[in-house]
Amino acid sequence: MAKITASDYLARMAPFLRKLPAFLRSAGAKLWYGPGTSAHWPIQSNCNVFAGLAVLGTAPEFDALSCSMSRDEVIATSLALLRFALDSHITGGGCATDGKPWGHHWISVLGLERMAHGVDAIRPFLAPEDEDALRRVLLSESDWLLDHYPVEAGLDGYSGKNKPESNIWNGGVMLRCALDYPDAPRRAEYLEKAAEFFANGISHALDAVSEVDFGGKVLRLRHRGCNFGANFALDHHAYLNIGYMVICLSNLAMLHFQYKERGVEPPPFLYHHMRELWEVVKHFTFADGRLLRIGGDTRARYTYCQCYAIPAWLAAADLWNDADAVAFEKRWLETVRLETEHNGDGTYYSRRLAQMERESYYYYTRLESDPFLCLSYGAYWRRRFAVPDVVETREENPTFVWSDAFHGAEIVRAGASIRSFVWRGAQGPTGLCVPAACSNLAEWQGNLHGSLVSFNNPGARVVEHRERRFPGGFLTVGCCDWSERSPCGEGETPSIYARHWIGCAALPDGESMLILEYASVRQEVTLREIHGLGLKIPNDIFNGSSRIYRAGEMSLKLPSPDREEHIALPDGRVAVDGKLAVLRLYGGELSLVRRAIPAIRIEHAPTLHSLAVDEICLGFRAEPGRPRPGEVLLDCGAAVVCGDCCGELVKFDRDGLKRSVDYRAGNGVLYRFSVDFSDLGMTLDEE
């Protein structure tokens, strides 16, 4: 039974001091981290590093850490970063490096919320003027929220009203002000509006009729709308966003420990639906702590939201003695160690995100600040409180079956596999079929379906979909339109150029998925690449930057890709590390495609990349030219199986837009999967 201690966290923080000076800038007496501009992320990053340094510099174990800075230097740097943040606020009289102050914005208090434990850690070193400045900032932000910021909520991310996480952190700053400044002139107003914010944080349909007391008023009278679905699905940023479920929990965790630090009982509404949300999120987590983001992620892989799982785990352990949370915590610390030691320079991401570091100082310094901060939660809270610390043996893949009609989402966790498909994903539809013990095989960017890539920022938008669940599996079929988002020609407007149908069956054998696809041109377009299946195989630091592929008599041990490469896979089948297998069912040849730069991109900054992958494709064609309306681009099918070998194709039928495959799985059962793309019909029969 291994224990987790504050020292485990401190050991992951101390190396960052070696790189920190490269991210610090100064002018006169001012010192800041990152670009230091008034935009919210640079200010938050500065606050993140302040808090991390505050915890590290005040740690009783500091002298045993072999740090590259002295304790006095760490504390002095921490104080300087805090003072920069306070001085450059609207109330401080100064400005950020772009000549503007920051503050009074829907997200401006987030950095203040996330750094609060750092303030507690370094409080003995704060001068009276620091305390006064902090009070001015917090009360000013709370007053602005009272007078200028409405409380809204809504299920659909496209509505602009889906605000669970910001409602929580904005209500949180008001609770902190009421807690720490009982003489604040508007304290009663803070408590009242905080209740409004929290009622519309993890808000649920049942809240609309709830008579429970919620800060002096029944909940239904505070309810503005549902941010979460009935099963606690979240459409933040307009996709099934597991990461922001975690962000909501993380901010609640910060408040939980803040009250515990003060020895004060928090208002009961702080924990509104927290346990229910956690029970969903924990099942969207691999055994090693990596988030099981079945809807994907628009941002850099295994960075921002993944970091903020740490405070959520600590709260689950402290509140409910959750052994799974402690196991996630322990195992993720090992993953952090793996990547930081791989980097060798004290950073968290410098090798994997080297291209980002070169091209975006703004974004890269932001990402480096998050793990440093989040590790400091464990270092501080495990210093201050008796959070459960024993890692107990847990079930590696607890059975979990979940669906959500709004997102067209299905997941089946059982036995040794995890299989899912989501239509409303971060970068379009996305599927997953991986062994439960192999989180490093999971990737969601356009996974388990083909791509029809034009030269002008293409993207797939879902048109319609249907799902059906049955014991041990599910069926789903739907279609999406591919469009050019930013055409090059002057006066040219975005247009839909292709329709793409996808049918998927997670078989009741507990290990297989069948994927059938068809796509045709709607408007003449110049394409850069076409392929089916699109099974992404991460090949980066987390798997030792090496994969073994076996296809027929061929065996290849391939390092992380660093050049364009197209490798034909004989016999129409391939096994990956003996853990995942693919069988071509029909249409196009099976091949392995490797890219010169890491292929997993950031959605809103597609020139930035965050993870290297190989890609198993069907019918790969580079620069296919300019297809005309009606031309068929894809007509193919494949089986993906958790294990070292696939079953066999027994029969394939094609009739118009109907496709049917008879597939004998490894369990000996013959399954017939049929789809009719013309009306989204689907059936699965067993013989």
The answer to whether position 288 is within a domain reads yes
pLDDT of 433 reads 98
Q: Are residues 26 and 123 in the same domain?
A: yes
* Element housing 393 (H / E): none
Q: Are residues 76 and 159 in the same domain?
A: yes
The answer to whether position 392 is within a domain reads no
The whole domain housing 586 covers 400-686
Q: Is the dihedral of CA 591, 597, 598, 603 positive or negative?
A: negative
Diameter over CA atoms, the chain: 80
- Over its C-alpha atoms, the chain yields an Rg (Å, rounded) of 26
Q: Is residue 490's pLDDT more than 90?
A: no
pLDDT of 397 reads 87
The answer to whether position 1 is within a domain reads no
Q: Which of 340, 355, 384 is the last residue of a domain?
A: 384
Q: Where are the alpha helices (DSSP H) in 286-385?
A: 304-307, 309-320, 323-343, 354-359, 361-384
Q: Is residue 176 within 8 Å of 194, Cβ to Cβ? A: no
DSSP strand pairing (648-655 vs 554-559): unpaired
What SS3 string covers 92-140? CCCCCCCCCCECCCCCCCHHHHHCHHHHHHHHHHCCHHHHHHHHHHHHH
Q: Is residue 372 within 8 Å of 48, Cβ to Cβ? A: yes
CATH number at residue 133: 1.50.10.100
The answer to whether position 21 is within a domain reads yes
Burial class (CB in 10 A: 0-12, 13-18, 19+), 497: buried
Distance separating alpha carbons of residues 225 and 410, to the nearest angstrom: 25
- The pLDDT > 90 percentage for the chain reads 94
**pTM exceeding 0.75:** yes
Contacts (Cβ under 8 Å, ≥6 apart) of 320: 275, 278
- In the numeric block, which tokens belong to residue 674? 């049929």
For the residues 219-243, what does the mean pLDDT come to?
Answer: 98
For the residues 194-205, what does the mean pLDDT come to?
Answer: 98
How many Cβ atoms from other residues are within 10 Å of residue 623's Cβ? 10
- At position 528, the amino acid (one-letter code) is R
Q: Are residues 247 and 321 in the same domain?
A: yes
Number of domains in the chain: 2
Question: pLDDT tens digits, residue range 457-474?
Answer: 777 899 999 999 999 999
- At position 677, the amino acid (one-letter code) is F
Question: pLDDT tens digits, residue range 394-409?
Answer: 777 899 999 999 999 9
Higher pLDDT, 219 or 492: 219
Q: Are residues 345 and 493 in the same domain?
A: no
pLDDT of 388 reads 94
> Is residue 168 classed as helix, strand or coil in its secondary structure?
helix
Q: Which of 360, 384, 408 is the last residue of a domain?
A: 384
Q: Are residues 300 and 420 in the same domain?
A: no
- In the numeric block, which tokens belong to residue 90? 């609207």
pLDDT of 391 reads 80
pLDDT of 252 reads 98
Burial class (CB in 10 A: 0-12, 13-18, 19+), 216: exposed
Q: Are residues 269 and 334 in the same domain?
A: yes
Phi/psi of residue 481, nearest 5 degrees: -105, 135
Q: Is residue 302 within 8 Å of 310, Cβ to Cβ? A: no
The answer to whether position 393 is within a domain reads no
Beta-sheet strand order (sheet of 573-576): 458-470, 473-484, 495-506, 512-521, 632-642, 580-586, 573-576, 546-551, 554-559
Q: pLDDT band for position 593 (50/70/90)? A: very high
DSSP strand pairing (417-422 vs 430-435): antiparallel
- In the numeric block, which tokens belong to residue 487? 């055409």
Q: Are residues 232 and 370 in the same domain?
A: yes
Buried b (16+ CB within 10 A) or exposed e, 179-214: bebeebebbebbbbbbbbbbbbbbbbeebeebeeeb
Q: Dihedral angle at the C-alpha atoms of 290, 294, 300, 305, nearest 10 degrees?
A: -60
CA angle 592, 593, 595 (to 5 degrees): 150
Q: Is residue 569 within 8 Å of 592, Cβ to Cβ? A: yes
Q: Helix, strand, coil: what percent of the chain each, to 5?
A: 35, 30, 35
Q: Is residue 212's pLDDT more than 70?
A: yes
Q: Are residues 423 and 367 in the same domain?
A: no
> Measured between alpha carbons, how far is residue 644 from residues 139, 421, 555, 595, 652 in Å?
60, 22, 13, 25, 23
Question: pLDDT tens digits, residue range 369-390?
Answer: 999 999 999 999 999 999 999 8
Q: Are residues 342 and 491 in the same domain?
A: no
| Average predicted confidence (pLDDT) for the chain | 96
Q: pLDDT band for position 2 (50/70/90)? A: confident
Distance separating alpha carbons of residues 676 and 687, to the nearest angstrom: 21
> Is residue 545 classed as helix, strand or coil in its secondary structure?
coil
> Is residue 64 classed as helix, strand or coil in its secondary structure?
helix
- At position 635, the amino acid (one-letter code) is D
The answer to whether position 391 is within a domain reads no
Strand partners of residue 557: 548
Q: Are residues 492 and 537 in the same domain?
A: yes
The answer to whether position 394 is within a domain reads no
pLDDT of 488 reads 77
Q: Which of 356, 384, 412 is the last residue of a domain?
A: 384
The answer to whether position 395 is within a domain reads no
Q: Are residues 368 and 510 in the same domain?
A: no
CATH number at residue 586: 2.70.98
Buried b (16+ CB within 10 A) or exposed e, 223-251: bbbbbbbeebbbbbbebbbbbbbbbbbbb
Question: pLDDT tens digits, residue range 58-104?
Answer: 999 999 999 999 999 999 999 999 999 999 999 999 999 999 999 99
Contacts (Cβ under 8 Å, ≥6 apart) of 423: 407, 408, 409, 429, 462, 465, 476, 478, 480
Distance separating alpha carbons of residues 687 and 669, to the nearest angstrom: 7
Q: Are residues 339 and 438 in the same domain?
A: no
pLDDT of 377 reads 98
